[in-house]
Chains A and B, each alone.
Chain A
Amino acid sequence: DTEVTQTPKHLVMGMTNKKSLKCEQHMGHRAMYWYKQKAKKPPELMFVYSYEKLSINESVPSRFSPECPNSSLLNLHLHALQPEDSALYLCASSQDLPTDTQYFGPGTRLTVL
């Protein structure tokens, strides 16, 4: 089973709202990732958690706040977003080595009004 699940599939929010994106995997992977993808572009790495600790933050604005409550779950908390933050947000996971294959979820399509 190489499944990563994400909820919700679609999210529309105003600039003053607070919302969260969720990601789950049950493959025993110890690294989890958040990517942002604009239309027709490759994914851009935002955050990496390794063994539930934040290991990479690619200079992401503080209106995006990641959380890794346990080894299977990854959240992305959103607050005071801008319209340019509208994108597909992808979660991925991999086993414990830095070069291990990353498996992606279906994504959450976020629209900020």
Chain B
Amino acid sequence: GEDVEQSLFLSVREGDSSVINCTYTDSSSTYLYWYKQEPGAGLQLLTYIFSNMDMKQDQRLTVLLNKKDKHLSLRIADTQTGDSAIYFCAEIFSGSARQLTFGSGTQLTVLP
């Protein structure tokens, strides 16, 4: 079955770039998403990329997709303390009947 994996923790200094990585197994993924969850809050959609794209940029966020290696990354430029949160990678594929498959989430801690 499908599987999405992420590393659990990442710490960066304020002002540095953060790179959060994700690997997935299903080659028929249609869309891949990044959601952000702050403590006690719901999931905020940050960005998504269609599986026929290699890169998407949106202000401080850059998403890179390597379809050959089934690797997705989220780069946050000029990381701020407000970026501290859990980041979930998720995929949906054409045979999923609306079921998002989430990674375990990466806890990003931004140090002053």
Interface residues of A (CB under 8 A from B): 2, 4, 6, 31, 33, 40-43, 45, 48, 50, 55-56, 90, 92, 94, 98-99, 101-107, 109
B85–chain A nearest beta-carbon distance, Å: 12
What are 23 inter-chain pairs, A to B, with CB distance below 8 A?
A: A31-B98, A41-B104, A41-B105, A42-B90, A42-B105, A43-B100, A48-B99, A55-B97, A55-B98, A56-B99, A90-B42, A90-B43, A98-B92, A99-B30, A99-B31, A99-B92, A99-B93, A99-B94, A99-B98, A101-B45, A102-B100, A104-B43, A104-B44
Q: Which of B72-92 contact A (CB under 8 A)?
A: 86, 88, 90, 92
B31 touches A101 (CB 8 A): yes
Q: A42-B104, A106-B41, A107-B41 are in contact. Are A98 and B98 (CB under 8 A)?
A: yes
A42 touches B99 (CB 8 A): no
Interface residues of B (CB under 8 A from A): 30-31, 33, 35, 40-45, 48, 86, 88, 90, 92-94, 96-100, 102-105, 107
Docked CA distance A33–B100 (Å):
11
A43 touches B43 (CB 8 A): yes
